């Protein structure tokens, strides 16, 4: 065990050296499990999966019609700060196409799996399609975009809420929600079945989403494949522990995760003669070197669609039904012209306007006005995105406006009172 701890420590060290880590879902799930109620729900999902797998082994029917291909309606919420983060429809569609190739095992690179593992590979019989009806049955492209003043997002779910300048989830019983944003440090993370409905789905970095505009190592759309694996109840192949258990019978035990792109047999955890299955989507190997889900992983994922399963409600989603309302969508808010405060006119004699429209989180903050000697001469509470400031009572001279908000952004502006 001591050796195991050293190995894990070593791998953690290597991970911190790489610029972007593929997945933070394990840490995310551990946070969820610290809530006793959530823990009970997630454990209940695991019991359900085990029960369904046992039933399948004993030949009992799943309750799902045989031979159907599951179609999952997808909504992509693009939350951008800079133009490059505002990814195109084409980039989104390239991701959906990639998902369908990999989940149906129609990708050419399945031939890259070594012969001794290839027969374990599975067509998961799951497909993905951008929604054509939104939760109110209005026509949609399945893609929505919103400007945010936030420059980087953490794996803390804030991007999933409009109140945090992100975008709210669509009903997660009926849609797979995918948020694409500038995710800090990680390529992606996913909620597991049994998580909170408003936080259900994946968050993927715009540099790892789709097959265009993506970063080296993440350019084939497989981050989303991996994260959907989690969303459908799969664990990492190393079971998030030294020689841990991923709950799947046909994935070999392996010591820890794989990074980069190995091409030799790697024996760990007594898994001779074939070693680690590092070409599995649920490892952290580069996109170019992962190419399979196993039959055991497929069985776990499909169990969730059995009657009563955590993802079974998606089968009756209306997201892919024809919309009932073809109303023309209202134009979205225009992108702000500036990404910082604007003060005008300057110089001024009686009143100035402070334009804070790029970030509504300034509302409620106090602005301190100081003179050249550093004395506080006036305070103004921000009540509007275009805040008027009455300076008629100030003496002529040079002044500064200063304020700060929770994310650490501060403003300091100079003005001249005539």
Tokens of 325: 């309302």
Shortest Å, Cβ 189 to Zn ion: 7
Indicate the residue among 237 and 387 with the shorter CB distance to Zn ion.
Answer: 237
The CA distance from 285 to 260, in Å, is 5
Judged by CB under 5 A, how many residues of this single chain contact Zn ion? 2
Nearest residue (CB) to Zn ion, 133 versus 191: 191
Q: Which is nearer to Zn ion, 292 or 413 (CB)?
A: 292
Nearest-CB residue to Zn ion? Answer: 23
Q: In a 10 Å sphere around its CB, with 0-12 CB exposed, 13-18 middle and 19+ buried, how is residue 304 labelled?
A: buried
**Distances from the Cα of 363 to the Cα of 5, 59, 119, 147, 315, angstroms:** 49, 61, 59, 17, 43
Please report how close the Cβ of residue 17 comes to Zn ion at its closest, in angstroms: 19
> Which residue stretch of 16-24, 41-49, 170-178, 352-360 sits at the interface with Zn ion (rule: CB under 5 A)?
16-24
Of 23 and 204, CB closest to Zn ion: 23
Report the distance separating Cα 310 and Cα 303, nearest Å: 9
> Using CB under 5 A, which of the segments 18-26, 117-125, 297-305, 366-374 binds Zn ion?
18-26
Residues 253, 274 contacting (CB under 8 angstroms): no
Strand-pair partners of 413: 401
Distance, in Å, from the CA atom of 343 to the CA atom of 115, rounded to the nearest integer, reads 67
Q: Which is nearer to Zn ion, 181 or 204 (CB)?
A: 204
Contacts to Zn ion from residues 35-54, by CB under 5 A: none
Nearer to Zn ion, 23 or 143 (CB): 23
Site stretch for Zn ion (CB under 5 A), options 23-31, 36-44, 177-185, 215-223 = 23-31
Nearer to Zn ion, 23 or 124 (CB): 23
Least distance (Å) from Zn ion to the CB of residue 60?
31
Q: How far is the CB of 248 from Zn ion (least distance, A)?
A: 14
Positive or negative: CA dihedral 341, 344, 347, 348? negative
CB 382 within 8 A of CB 364: yes
User: Among 56, 49, 98, which residue's Cα sits nearest to residue 305?
Assistant: 49
Site stretch for Zn ion (CB under 5 A), options 17-25, 69-77, 257-265, 273-281: 17-25
> Which of the ranges 25-33, 88-96, 126-134, 201-209 carries the binding residues for Zn ion, by CB under 5 A?
25-33
Give the whole-angstrom CA distance, residue 194 versus residue 39: 9
Shortest CB 301 distance to Zn ion, Å: 14
Task: Report the first-to-last Cα separation within the chain, whole angstroms.
Answer: 75
What is the nearest approach in angstroms of Zn ion to the Cβ of residue 190?
A: 7
Q: Can 227 be counted among the known catalytic residues? A: yes
Which listed residue (20, 23, 204, 306) binds Zn ion by CB under 5 A?
A: 23
Q: Contacting Zn ion (CB under 5 A), which of 25, 133, 174, 214?
A: 25
Enumerate residues 256-295 that contact Zn ion by CB under 5 A. none
Q: Does 155 bind Zn ion (CB under 5 A)?
A: no
Q: Which residue, 25 or 177, is less far from Zn ion as judged by CB?
A: 25
Please choose, out of 21-29, 172-180, 253-261, 373-381, the segment that lies near Zn ion by the rule CB under 5 A.
Answer: 21-29
> Across the strands, what pairs with 146?
79
Q: Which listed residue (227, 333, 334, 351) is catalytic?
A: 227
Shortest Å distance, C-beta 235 to Zn ion: 8
User: What residues act catalytically?
Assistant: 227
Q: Which residues bind Zn ion (CB under 5 A)?
A: 23, 25
């Amino acid at each position: 065990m001591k050796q195991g701890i050293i190995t894990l420590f070593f791998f953690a060290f290597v991970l911190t050296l790489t610029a972007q880590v593929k997945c933070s879902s394990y840490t995310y799930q551990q946070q969820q499990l610290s809530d006793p109620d959530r823990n009970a729900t997630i454990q209940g999902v695991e019991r359900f999966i085990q029960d369904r797998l046992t039933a399948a082994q004993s030949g009992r029917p799943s309750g799902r019609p045989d031979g159907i291909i599951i179609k999952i309606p997808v909504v992509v919420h693009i939350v951008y700060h800079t133009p490059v983060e505002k990814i195109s429809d084409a980039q989104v569609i390239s991701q959906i196409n990639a998902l369908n190739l990999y989940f149906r095992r129609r990708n050419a690179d399945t031939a890259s799996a070594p012969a001794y593992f290839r027969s374990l590979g599975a067509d998961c019989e799951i497909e993905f399609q951008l929604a054509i009806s939104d939760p109110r049955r209005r026509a949609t492209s399945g893609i929505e975009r919103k400007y945010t003043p936030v420059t980087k997002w953490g794996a803390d779910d804030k991007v999933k809420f409009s109140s945090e300048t992100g975008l709210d989830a669509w009903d997660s019983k009926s849609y797979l929600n995918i948020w694409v944003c500038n995710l800090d440090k990680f390529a992606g993370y996913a909620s597991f079945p049994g998580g909170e409905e408003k936080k259900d789905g994946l968050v993927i970095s715009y540099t790892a989403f789709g097959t265009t505009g993506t970063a080296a190592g993440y350019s084939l759309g497989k981050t989303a494949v991996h994260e959907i694996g989690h969303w459908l109840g799969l664990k990492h192949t190393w079971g998030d522990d030294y020689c841990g258990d991923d709950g799947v019978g046909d994935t070999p035990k392996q010591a820890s995760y794989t990074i980069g792109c190995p091409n030799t047999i790697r024996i760990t955890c007594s898994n001779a003669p074939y070693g680690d299955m590092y070409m599995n989507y649920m490892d952290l190997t580069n996109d170019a070197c992962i190419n399979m889900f196993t039959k055991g992983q497929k069985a776990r994922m499909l169990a969730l669609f059995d009657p009563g399963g955590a993802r079974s409600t998606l089968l009756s989603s209306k997201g892919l039904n024809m919309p009932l309302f073809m109303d023309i969508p209202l134009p979205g808010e225009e992108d702000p012209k500036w990404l910082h405060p604007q003060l005008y006119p300057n110089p001024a004699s009686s009143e100035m306007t402070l334009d804070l429209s790029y970030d509504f989180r300034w509302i409620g903050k106090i602005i301190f006005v100081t003179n050249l000697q550093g004395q506080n001469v006036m305070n103004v509470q921000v009540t509007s995105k275009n805040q008027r400031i009455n300076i008629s009572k100030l003496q002529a001279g040079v002044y500064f406006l200063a304020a700060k908000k929770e994310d650490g952004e501060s403003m300091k502006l100079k003005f001249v009172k005539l």
